[in-house]
Chain A
Amino acid sequence: MVPILGRILILMALLAASAGALVGFVTGVRPNASGWKWARRLAYAFAAFMVLANLTMEYALLTHDFSVSYVAHVGSRQVPTWVSIVSLWSSLEGSILFWGLVMGLYVAVATWRNADKHPEYMPYAVGVWLACGAFFSFLLAGPAQPFATVLNPVMDGPGPNPLLQNHYLMVIHPPCLYTGYVGMTIPFGLACAALLVGRLGNDFIRPLRNFLLFSWIFLTCAIVLGGWWAYEVLGWGGYWAWDPVENASFLPWLTATAALHSALLVERKGVLKGWTTLLVLATYLLTILGTFMTRSGVFNSVHSFTQSAIGPTILVFLAAALLFSLVLLALRVDSLGTEGHLETGPSRDVMFLVQNLLFVLFTFTVLLGTVFPLIVEAVRGVQMSVGRPYFDRMSVPIGVALLFVMGVGPALPWGRATAQQMRRALLPPLLSAVLLAVAGLLLGVRNAWTLLALLFGGFTAQVTLSEMFLPVRQRMRSHGEGFVEAFRQAQLRGRRRFGAYVTHTGAILAIASIAVSSTMGSSKEVQLNQGETATLGPYSLTFVNAERVTEPHRESLQARVDISKNGRSLGALYPRMNQYENQREPIGTPAVRSSLTEDLYLSIHNIDSDSVGLLVLINPMVSWIWIATAIMALGGLVALVPSTRRVAVTASPPVPAAPVAIEGSR
């Protein structure tokens, strides 16, 4: 019964999406009101069927209906309810179903918000979204069917991958990732619509940018949450391994970040329209490439899904989307036109370009490193991996260069800067640059790249903070307002700008803390018998005992390790080794003692009742990476707010309207 209902809902979604795509394109070519109305209705219908299909699956998971193939695959009566709920995205078919849900919601919201705007573009946009939606519905209807009927249902299933049951971050990370990843469909559809129409007006760049930024915020959080999860769960002591699946999420992030910046130039100067469109298209194509990487079984990875038959199907879609985008771009890029011109001398304009090129270079670097093993295996038949050294060697200079551009760009004025302007802009921040680098030296930083990162970080931080509060200072001077009032007023007028600088602050902090944490840490492997003590740096660790902990879905052996730093007791840490029901391999959970300056990280290699093998690491400044990400996301949200409330930021005349609107909404 439930499997049939699920299959019907998927087929209905497929039908709605295919019909809607067709209606959208036809209405785009021959605009008419009823066609647009039907395109919208079908978009909402697609969303509704996806929501219902997902609810059906949740119902099946919660009632342990093992006649549903997906439930038989990942369900178990022995896991807690929250695990049953999140099992929706714990394996291949369910994750595609969840993808459909997120996509349905996005398409519905984007259609609804623009129902009476951009009449030229919107039918095409809906057409493109629903064409993508039709593909994912097709996956669910055939190659990755979650609702297949199991004829002789088992009494109990194996439960989801134990790694996913190990930490609460698994509840947040995948939805966050999908919100970021799938969200890129919306800018993609809008950019395709702009190309199909042959024009990218200033009014239309705004919804494009907003959806891009919204997805970007979630993608940023998701990437770092994934790193955090790896850090807290996988037990090798790091947060990023350049694993193909990590790269899969990082690649679209790079192009999306570039697109967010070039969109600003489109809006401000009317230039780089084709380039921005290209970046937006590339972002979506990279999400599909990432989907292929995680689900085709072609890439070996810690957290790729099991091998499945959907690889070729996704590849066909990727190829079709790629060729469609390319031909569309080649046909229409010239008609998008340019309204202004870009400065060539030292200016903010040029730094924007440099920044964009660096991001694209970064994208190619990561892409090459990710597919290189495949090239080698295809050509020479040898299995190999590029591994961290390549990525580290390539990404460190690019990251440091980005940090530099992030400082110099905002310091320079728009348009060509005179020599005097350059001096005024670039000399003062050198103070913070030198201060931070010297502080680093005094604290023992010897790695040249880390020192460079601190130097540029200091420079960029001073520029960013001074730019962030520039409007406030100007108002305080010109309007004689106090700081709080000036801040509030500046917020109303330039919240987007403020948000951008908040994000930059987060980015500086992130790069600096990544530089420090990856070069300044120390580690040690120890084997301790009961009562024995080992030391690493200022810490001493005493293995007190091992204790067996029994929970419904797992049994763990937990080590109690008493910690003291410089002779002062810091309490105990409890790294553990978990044995899950129905799973063979025990899985360790490291114990981390975090502080703002450094983390003490304990991970179990082996344990029995009277001895334990531990990996001990001191990781400096790791907490700051998480904090920095929160700041970046916050900045993004701040930048998103005024445009959603339509507070006129750049338009000059209707000044009185803005404060009224804000007061009304408070």
Chain B
Amino acid sequence: MTTALTSHPEPAMRRSRVNPKVLVGGLVVALPLLAVLVANLGRDPHSVRSPLIGRPAPAFSLVPVGGGAPVSLEKLSGKPVVINFWATWCVPCFEEHAALTAAARGLPDVQFLGVVYEDEEARTQEFLRQRPSAYPSLIDPEGKSAIAYGVFGVPETFFIDGSGRIVDKYVGPMTRSTIAALVGRAKEGAR
């Protein structure tokens, strides 16, 4: 055993011939695994499938921030609606605010709505004064609408088609392209 320490076999003795069993066996395990991982890379775990998808959107009638006539979902029917649950204390909401505002300006045939989630009206008003929004944000007293929509964190955004059915739900901050894609589906109508 100890002789192995001193006597080095000549490097020339190393014969590098591929062991086909090892190579094929390894590839049989490795390639499908890699393929599955690659196939799932584009997958977005944020698009959680809510049980509400395909169902009629829960009705609400809520007063906008700063007062005014209540906005109710029924009166908007015929038009795709995007409902974004947000709050001033939520950093990702802040990030997506600009994208949502821009999308709302670019898509006049879609009604965008914000629903303020667990926040004070004064702080919301201040937030919206600094960063004007292109659509109304509604006050949701006691979070009843949030509960009806099964919101478990902000931001969460619901896409509703012209017939008032929820087409998709997105969890987390959105970019303009995600908004455009999901609005497209809301315009097509429910699957």
Chain A contacts to B: CB under 8 angstroms: 120, 158, 197-199, 201-203, 274, 278, 292, 296-300, 307, 311-312, 315, 318-319, 322-323, 326-327, 329-335, 367, 371, 374-375, 377-378, 383, 582, 584-585, 651
Inside 8 A of A651's CB, which chain B residues have their CB? 2
- Please, how many angstroms separate the alpha-carbon atoms of A584 and B151 in the complex? 12
Q: Is B26 an interface residue (CB 8 A)?
A: yes
Instruction: Tell me, yes or no, whether B135 is within 8 Å of chain A by CB.
Output: no
Q: How many angstroms between the C-alpha atoms of A322 and B89 in the bound complex?
A: 44
Select from chain B the residue with minimum beta-carbon distance to A117: B5
Q: Would you call B96 an interface residue if the criterion is a C-beta within 8 Å of the partner chain's C-beta atoms?
A: no
Provide the main secondary structure of the chain B interface. loop
Measured CA separation A585–B4 after assembly (Å) = 63
Contact assessment for B5 and A203 in the assembled complex, using a CB-CB cutoff below 8 Å: yes
B9-50 interface with A by 8 A CB criterion: 9, 11, 13-20, 22-23, 26-27, 30, 33-34, 36-41, 43-46, 49
Closest to B35 in A: A378
Interface residues of B, Cβ cutoff 8 Å to A: 1-2, 4-5, 8-9, 11, 13-20, 22-23, 26-27, 30, 33-34, 36-41, 43-46, 49, 87, 89-91, 117-118, 152-154, 172
A326–B27 touching, CB < 8 Å: yes
Which of chain B's residues have a CB closer than 8 A to the CB of A318? 34, 37
> Could you tell me if A199 and B9 are in contact, using CB atoms closer than 8 angstroms?
yes
Task: State A201–B14 Cα separation when bound (angstroms).
Answer: 14
With contact pairs A158-B91, A383-B49 given, residues A319 and B34 touching in the complex (Cβ less than 8 Å)? yes
Smallest CB-CB separation from B38: which chain A residue? A315
In the complex, which residues of chain B have a beta carbon less than 8 angstroms from the beta carbon of A326? 22-23, 26-27, 30
Residue of B nearest to A31 (CB): B11
Min CB gap A418→B, angstroms: 28
Q: Are A331 and B16 in contact (CB under 8 A)?
A: yes
The chain B residue sitting closest to A118, CB to CB, is B5
- 16 additional A-B residue pairs with CB within 8 Å, beyond A297-B44, A330-B20: A307-B44, A315-B41, A319-B34, A322-B34, A326-B26, A329-B19, A329-B22, A331-B16, A334-B19, A371-B36, A375-B36, A377-B43, A584-B87, A584-B89, A584-B117, A585-B153
B2 contacts A292, C-beta separation under 8 Å: no
Q: How far is the CA of A203 from the CA of B45 in the complex (A)?
A: 48
Query: Residue B15 contacts which of A158, A335, A374, A584 (CB distance < 8 angstroms)?
Result: A335
12 A-B contacts (beta carbon < 8 Å): A198-B11, A199-B9, A296-B41, A300-B45, A307-B46, A315-B37, A330-B20, A331-B16, A371-B36, A374-B36, A378-B40, A651-B2
Q: Per a CB cutoff under 8 Å, which of A158, A297, A327 touches B23?
A: A327
Min CB distance B80 to A, Å, is 24
Q: Which of A202, A312, A330, A335 contacts B41 (CB 8 A)?
A: A312
Cβ contacts under 8 Å, B9 to chain A:
199
Inter-chain contact A202/B37, CB cutoff 8 Å? no
B18's partner among A202, A323, A331, A582 (CB-CB below 8 A) is A331
CA distance A618 to B49 in the complex (A): 35
Please name the residue on chain A nearest to B172 by beta carbon. Answer: A307
Give chain B residues whose Cβ lies under 8 Å from the Cβ of A322.
30, 34
- In the assembled complex, the Cα of A330 lies from the Cα of B15 at a distance in Å of 12
B23 and A330 contacting across the interface, CB-CB below 8 Å: yes
Residues of chain A within 8 A of B1, CB atoms compared: 202
Most chain-A CB neighbours within 10 Å: which of B8, B14, B15, B22? B22
Q: How far is the CB of A109 from chain B (nearest CB, A)?
A: 23
B91 in contact with A374 (CB, 8 Å): no
Q: Which residues of A contact B30 (CB under 8 A)?
A: 322-323, 326
Min distance, Cβ A7 to any Cβ of chain B, angstroms:
23
- In the docked arrangement, what's the CA distance between A201 and B22, Å? 21
Give Cα distance in the complex from A334 to B17, angstroms: 8
| Inter-chain contacts of A297 with B (CB < 8 A) | 44-45
Q: Please provide the 4 A-B residue pairs with the shortest distance between their CB atoms, ordered closest to farther.
A: A330-B23, A198-B14, A326-B26, A378-B39
With a cutoff of 8 Å between Cβ atoms, the chain A residues found around residue B14 in the complex are: 197-199, 332, 335
A329 touches B45 (CB 8 A): no
